[in-house]
Structure 1
């Protein structure tokens, strides 16, 4: 998270400390509620684009599923990657589902504790890292949204030009 904040890293460290997370280590594990609280504070104080940019960097710092090399496999493995990177498995009540519409288009529905823009960034970074390709990830306006009281957010994922 901090590496994605660039020149605002010190501010990120302060916000994490406000939520009880200090002396951050790249390989460290931190309480989920404190981390989510810090992300929410970052969103409030620094805006949704900062959350998105932090999310985009997450795939560069976590364990990724092996053998994932095409759009359908990446789409299907997002939930598995999420589970792999939460100690003790996914947080209680978390759901991640997907539907594939074509070889280059699909939807991911996230019911995670994380802010929407962070989730959108993680999805974007996940596809970019595994496919080494441009990707478009847009929140579906016709579906529920966690930011507006929903339990999930739905993101439409497209690999353009293929």
Structure 2
């Protein structure tokens, strides 16, 4: 799916602390307007990664999975965070009716869990995709792809 403009980084996390450090390093490079697609099985740590980034940018809100609300907004840190969960979205029309694309125009970091359910990558020129693979109880392989359009 990725074409030109792809940069890939691979991290090995052997503990919760490792994952938090990877998220902190990632957060240090954010500018506040990124769209971040999070992929991984249930329980892989997508929401935990968002929590860790939020903590790193100074957000003290309690971050929870927006599975049943579709979106949560958090402020109080360096950047506003829009946290989406598209698991229950079935198609593009539901995504559009929800107003998702208007949120992408807002200032802030947009974290999108389950973006692959609506093939969101094909609709965006610039995004960061984070794939989290659970390899043990607390160990993960975290791959970060940076996609820049022409």
The reply to whether TM is greater than 0.5 is no
Q: Considering fraction of residues, name the structure with more helix.
A: 1
Considering Cα pairs closer than 8 Å and 6+ residues apart, tell me whether 1 or 2 has the greater RCO: 2
* Structure of greater Rg: 1
Q: Considering fraction of residues, name the structure with more strand.
A: 2
